[in-house]
Homo-oligomer: A and B are copies of this chain.
Amino acid sequence: MHVLALTKPDGRALTLYAQAPLQGIADAPSPFQEPLGRSPHLRRHPLRGEWITYAAYRQDRTFLPPPEYNPLAVTVDPRLPTELPQGNWDIAVFDNRFPSLSLDADEVPESIVDTAPGTGKCEVVVFAQDRLTSLSRLPVAHIDLLLQVWADRTAELGAIDSIHYVLPFENRGAEVGVTLHHPHGQIYAYPTVPPVPARMQEIASAHYEANGRGVLQDHIAKEIEDGQRILYLGEHAVAFVPAAARYPYEVWIATIAPVATFCDLDEAQRVDLARALKTVLMKYDALWDRPFPYLMAWYQAPTDGRPHPESHLHAEIYPPYRTRDRLKYLAGTEIAAGWFAMDALPEDKAQELQRIDVDIDS
């Protein structure tokens, strides 16, 4: 992996990653020239005990681009700068101009609830230069590079004292609110372990203490033995519709042996994980012969400086469709109670995806 770290005119970081040595890279452009005062703040929900981020300046996006303007394309006309320079980079990561969390956060308003600065970092990860491609269509080696990029970001962000959790994710498709269709994901780096991974850590820790093994490690062993819902099984990585899926086409992807974070993957594991991911995403797109929307999140160990033998890096993918034409809306029971209701059995949905043959090496 080749890496080049640059700084944009407005002070934001840009890091370029490539399989080949980087050369002939222009200066880092930016659609914005002035530094932005970024001071999101947190308020604590009194009944849930969760932090919520407020970044009111996100409303003031005064930049009004022409309709065809794509900020994630490389800059061709310097009078219309985008976020990215020309050159032979494969993947790019830059600071979100309108972050929900920022290392510069320092202002905290008076409030009747607990408050704190919105410390953290929000990064945009551009998966490729071609706006018409997608993660599913990129070669395995390119996806493998993305896993290395996520490792690099986890290492860099996790090393910051005030960052305790690094979450890479991708929202794909208008159905999940995406307006910018150039293939990209995001990384949120949080000042504390957020509620969902915190709950998962609690359960994983209790299981590890009681059994000396990881809860996901044990679950994966059972999924492989059962075999009913497996979508990919390699030497080091596995993908399956989990027996307790909360979304109709939910899929988990993981190494078979527990690995705490992206940084702990060895090359064989990483390549197999890339193959598992490409397999699942190709099956998704082939299912209805159209781009398949989803939210994909990668859970890993907290970066709080403590060892986490209970953690097991894995992706959970939540697609919004329950059938070709019907969205699964999260409503009363899911949102208000946290109790998911499913019309479809995971075994049936797994079968639909198993039936689809894909060739990830073509």
Contacts and interface: CB of A to CB of B under 8 A. Distances in A.
Contacts of A343: 55-56, 58-59
B222 A112 contact: yes
Contacts of A340: 50, 52-53
A218 B112 CA distance: 10
A341 B188 CA distance: 11
Nearest to A345: B56
Interface stretch (A11-19, A282-290, A328-336): A328-336
Interface string A158-181: 000000010101110000110000
A137 B66 CA distance: 43
Given A167-B336, A335-B295, A244 B345 contact: no
Contacts of A49: 199, 203
The SS class assigned to the A binding surface is: mixed
| Chain A residues touching B, range | 35 or more
Interface string A50-75: 11111110110000000000000000
Contact of A100 (B44, B177, B333): B333
A337 B46 contact: no
Interface string A97-116: 00010000000000111000
Interface string A197-241: 101100110000000000110110011011000000000000000
A38 B170 CA distance: 38
Nearest to A218: B46
Contacts of A58: 343
A244 B45 contact: yes
Interface string A314-333: 00101000000001011111
A295 B171 contact: no
Contacts of A171: 329, 331-332
Given A56-B345, A204-B47, A194 B244 contact: no
A151 B216 CA distance: 42
Contacts of A218: 46
A150 interface: no
A100 B188 contact: no
Given A45-B244, A336-B295, A342 B195 contact: no
B48 A199 contact: yes
A360 interface: no
Contacts of A45: 242, 244, 246
B111 A297 contact: no
Contacts of A8: none
A190 interface: yes
B53 A332 contact: no
Nearest to A252: B47
A327 B330 CA distance: 14
Interface string A139-160: 0000000000000000000000
A297 B331 CA distance: 10
7 tightest A-B contacts by CB? A177-B329, A195-B338, A297-B336, A194-B337, A169-B332, A196-B338, A100-B341
